[in-house]
Chains A and B, each alone.
Chain A
Amino acid sequence: MNLFNLFSKRTTAPVARERLQMLLAHERAVVGQSDLVAILREEILAVIAKHVPVERDKVQVKMNREDSVSTLEVDIELPPVPSMKVA
Chain B
Amino acid sequence: MAKVLVVTSGKGGVGKTTSTAALGAALAKGGQNVCVVDFDVGLRNLDLVMGAERRVVYDLINVVQGDAKLAQALIKDKRCETLSLLPASQTRDKDNLTAEGVERVMGELREKFDWIICDSPAGIERGATLAMRHADVAVVVTNPEVSSVRDSDRIIGLLDSKTERAERGEEIQKHLLLTRYDPVRAERGDMLKVEDVLEILAIPLLGIIPESADVLRASNLGTPVTLSDATSAPAQAYMDAARRLNGEKIPMVIPDGRRSLFGKLFGRRAA
Binding site for B on A (CB under 8 A): 11-14, 16-17, 19-21, 23-24, 27-28, 31-32, 35
Contacts and interface: CB of A to CB of B under 8 A. Distances in A.
Interface string B158-202: 000100000000000000000000000010111111001000100
12 contacts: A11-B189, A13-B186, A13-B189, A13-B190, A13-B196, A17-B196, A19-B146, A20-B150, A21-B200, A24-B150, A32-B157, A35-B161
A20 B189 contact: no
A28 B200 contact: no
A11 B153 contact: no
A16 B199 CA distance: 13
Given A21-B200, A24-B200, A16 B154 contact: no
A12 B186 CA distance: 10
B146 A13 contact: no
Contacts of A24: 150, 153, 200
Contacts of B86: none
Give the most central of A21, A24, A32, A35: most B CB within 10 Å: A24
Contact of B190 (A11, A21, A27, A31): A11
Contact of B157 (A11, A21, A28): A28
B189 A14 contact: yes
A53 B52 CA distance: 62
